[in-house]
Amino acid sequence: MLTEQEKNTGKWITVAASLLAFMGIGIVDPILPSIASSIGATHSQVEMLFTAYIFTMAIMMIPIGIVASKVGDKKLIVSGLFLVTIFALLCSFSNSIGALSIFRAGWGLGNSMFLATAMTLLISLSHTTSHAIGLYESAMGLGMAFGPLVGGILGNMSWRYPFLATAALIFIACLLILFKVKVPQSVDQKTSSNQANVAFVYL
C-alpha cells in the first residue's frame, strides 16, 4: 500500500513525463527547413522524419500494451524513455536524412512504449479514473502545444538543439520514474486488453 505522498509524487512525475513525450511529436516541425538546408535533403525527404515517427508509434502502441501486462508497466515505461533518450541523442548527431528517419522511428518506438502504459500507471496513482484522464489530456494538450514552440526557439540556434534538449529532459524523467515512482500492486493486474484500448484511444 502506497502512502498519499508516494502516490502524488508518482502521479506528477508521470504527468510531467507524459507532457515531454507528447512534445516529441511536434518538436521537429519548425526545424524541418533547417534540417533540409543543412544536410541537403528535399522537403518530401524531411517529411519522412514525421512520418517514420508517427507510423512506428501507431503500429506499435497496441502490441506494446499487450506486452506490458506480462512484463510490468514500470519496466516498459523506463525502457521506452531510455530509448527516446538514445534516439533523440542520435538524431542530434546525425548528418543524413536516412539516419535521421531511422532514429526518429526508434524514437517513435520508445514513445509508444511509454504512452501505451503511462495512462494505466496514472490511473493507479490517482483517486479516480476521471482525474487521471483529465491530467493525461492536459499533459497531451500542453505537450502538443509546446513541442513546436520549443522546437522553434531552440531551432533558431541550431536544428540539433531541440533533439539534445529532448534527450536531456527525457533522461531526467526516466531517472525520476526509475527511482521515485512506486507502482501500486494493482497496476500490474490490469488486463492486456484494457491497456491496448487505452493506447488506441489516445493515439
Share of the chain above pLDDT 70, in %: 91
Q: Taking all residues of the chain, what is their mean pLDDT, rounded to a whole number? A: 90
Residue located via cell numbers 516498459: 76
- Residues in CB range of 52: below 8 A, 6 or more apart: 101, 102, 104, 105, 108
pLDDT digits (tens, 9 = 90+) for 51-101: 999 999 999 988 998 888 888 889 999 999 999 999 999 999 999 999 999
Q: Which residue has the cell 536531456?
A: 168
Cα–Cα distance measured from residue 36 to residue 31, given in angstroms and rounded to the nearest whole number: 9
DSSP conformational letter for 126: S
Count of domains forming the chain: 1
Type of residue numbered 171: F
| Distance separating the N- and C-terminal Cα atoms of the chain | 31
Which CATH number covers residue 171? 1.20.1250.20
**Full pLDDT tens readout for the chain, 203 residues:** 899 999 999 999 999 999 999 998 899 999 999 999 999 999 889 999 989 999 999 999 889 988 888 888 899 999 999 999 999 999 999 999 999 999 999 999 999 999 989 999 999 999 999 999 999 999 999 999 999 999 999 999 999 999 999 999 999 999 999 999 998 875 554 434 444 445 444 45
What range does the domain containing 31 cover?
4-201
The percentage of the chain sitting over the pLDDT mark of 90, rounded to a whole number, equals 79
Q: Are 10 and 74 in contact (CB under 8 A)?
A: no
